[in-house]
Amino acid sequence: MAEQKQPTVFVRESTGLVKRVSMLDAISLNISNMSAGAALGIIGFTMIAVNVNGVNLAIGSIIAFLISIPQIIVYTMMTSRVSRTGGDYVWVTRVFGGFFGSALSFMGYTLETLAYLALITLSAVFAIGSVGLFFGNSGFLGLALPGYLSGSAPAYQFILGAAIFAILIAINIFRPKAGYKLVSVLTVFGIITLILAIITLLAYGHQGVVNYMNSLGNANLTYDKVASSYHGPSFDFNNTIFMLPFFAIFVYPWLNAAPAVASEIKGKTSIKWNVPISALVVFALVTSAFATMYYVGGLPFINAALSNTTLVFDYSFNFWTLAMGVTNLTALQILIGLGWIVWNLSILAYGIIVFSRYVFAQAFDRFLPTRLAYISPKYGSPINAHAMDLIITIFLVGAAAFLYGSLQSLFAAVIASMIYFFFIGLSAFTYGARYEKGRAAFTLMISGLAMSIVFLFLISQFLENPTVWGSSASFFGIPGYIFAYGYAAASFIAGVIIYWASRRYHKARGINIDLAYKEIPPD
């Protein structure tokens, strides 16, 4: 009689994932995660809701980057020390234990990402519609307008969005290597077109902006009319600081993509440098883009235009459309418009990969059902995790397409990630105190503590201004942000329930899942 094999702590002795991620792939994952192109396209929706007097988005970008430096240090050091699939999920669960750490990660990244990907899917559809409208095709109006505005076509938005997402999922299931390369290609193209847009604005200069505005054919939207409608100071520090949550939603905290696939990254150099390089690249791109807008348009005009509802909703005014508008070269306009669309697609492409790795890592520890840790021997991809992503995200895309006015508040669910990042800072502090010595211990502890303080401030800003960093729209008489906070809270509660259910289930089969959180999982 053959010996019966004893159950292991982890699902198996190795992940089954392959080291196929190059330095470029790792950097591209992080840059896509930081959503620079989407931020430049959606900034008007935020500026409409805030006091734009004295807001300087370029200075805001600089401040947001500076306060992200402790996080850059934390992710660089921790990824070098614990380079495993799931990235910060592994760090936080090994420091705080499976019960709290798993529920925290499930809330702070796994389910929050699904809501974000659904909204970005619609953002890609809006970008396609806006570019079509720019070229005079009124048939794209239904794709360009959010579902709560007259003239929108939510059914077509859902069909197009679902098709885009399903295609990207299929690529990652059947050709996982191609999925990584796709992120790199889309990201490089996005960067090139963003730089091209900046050069275009600088080449056509102030007069190009004036000519574009005056060519719209609306007497109330000439350059002089819009610029003169601004009555604020040239700079207001408090109002600029108020915009930091905008950068937190889209840009600087999102350094966790490459660390989440660290076990698949080739070479120690790539593991060590992908986070700081990607952070610096995005900092240069975002700051330069906003600075260029102010340089060619003037702060009074840019702030007034970005907060003008007619310009933002009817003309899709933003960084991308301004760069397209100043030139009459059709080929250049097409390239810049494609850049805007591609930035949104790159976010979806990265998100599909990274979400599946978090789910995989959680299933590998037996927190989530172990079937989600299945790697197809034929394709080398976590197909069950991808299937979960596809089903839930498409459902959310459909709901948001028809109820966007309320469900856009799901952007406020990013507070779950802010809470998660707060505890990641504390986990880095604890890790440094327990396992490091000398300068490394001091650096990791100070950086972790500073990171937690930054996110505590950001959390307070979200809670103090929920209608700005969520939505003022109501659903069944309930403010939209309540649903976002409820989504975050329900995610944590679901994580707690899943943990205890899994613990009980596996205990009956002779497996103590608590033991998994006392050691680092295998590669």
- Digit-by-digit pLDDT tens for the chain (523 residues) are 344 455 567 776 777 776 788 999 999 999 999 989 989 998 988 898 888 999 999 999 999 999 999 999 999 999 999 888 888 999 999 999 989 999 999 999 888 888 888 888 888 888 899 889 888 888 888 887 776 667 788 888 889 999 999 999 999 999 888 888 999 999 999 999 999 999 999 999 999 999 999 999 899 999 999 999 999 899 999 999 999 999 998 898 899 999 999 888 888 899 999 999 999 999 999 999 999 999 999 999 999 999 999 998 888 899 999 999 999 999 999 999 999 999 989 999 988 888 888 998 999 889 989 898 888 888 888 899 999 989 988 888 888 777 765 556 666 788 899 999 999 999 999 999 999 999 999 999 999 999 999 999 999 999 998 888 876 667 677 777 787 888 889 999 999 999 999 999 999 988 898 888 888 888 7
**What integer pLDDT is reported at residue 146 of this predicted model?**
72
Q: What does 298-342 look like in DSSP terms, one character per residue? A: -HHHHHHHHT-HIIIIIS--SHHHHHHHT---HHHHHHHHHHHHH
The pLDDT, as a whole number, for residue 275 is 95
Strand partners, 85: 261
Retrieve residue 196's tokens.
């091209």
In a domain, 275, yes or no: yes
Q: Are 344 and 127 in contact (CB under 8 A)?
A: yes
Instruction: Specify the pLDDT at position 3.
Output: 43
Residue reference for tokens 């295609």? 167
Residue among 79, 144, 89, 65 nearest 367 (CA): 89
Backbone angles phi, psi at 474, to 5 degrees: -115, 155
Residue 459 within any structural domain of the chain = yes
Sign (positive/negative) of CA torsion 468, 130, 400, 28? Answer: negative
Distance CA 246, CA 252 (A): 10
Extended strands (E) in 272-404: none
**C-beta of residue 190 within 8 angstroms of C-beta of residue 342:** yes
Do the domain assignments include residue 17?
A: no
Domain that holds residue 286: 23-518
| Per-residue tokens: 369 | 């059902």
Give a yes or no: residue 9 inside a domain: no
Domain count, the chain: 1
Identity of the residue numbered 398: G
**Quick check: is 4 in a domain?**
no
Is pTM beyond 0.85? Reply is yes
> What CA–CA distance (Å, rounded) separates 57 from 14?
46
> What's the Rg (C-alpha) of the chain?
23
Q: Is residue 1 part of a domain?
A: no
In a domain, 495, yes or no: yes
DSSP at 476:
T
User: In sequence order, which residues have a C-beta less than 8 Å from that of residue 2 and are 6 or more positions away?
Assistant: none
Can you give the pLDDT at residue 7? 59
User: Could you tell me if residue 13 is inside a domain?
Assistant: no
Residue 217 buriedness (CB in 10 A; 0-12 / 13-18 / 19+) = exposed
CATH number where 250 lies: 1.20.1740.10
- Left, alpha or beta for 418 (phi > 0: left; psi -120 to 50: alpha)? alpha
| Residue 476, token pair as written in the block | 């069944």
pLDDT at res. 409: 62
Coil, strand or helix at 21: strand
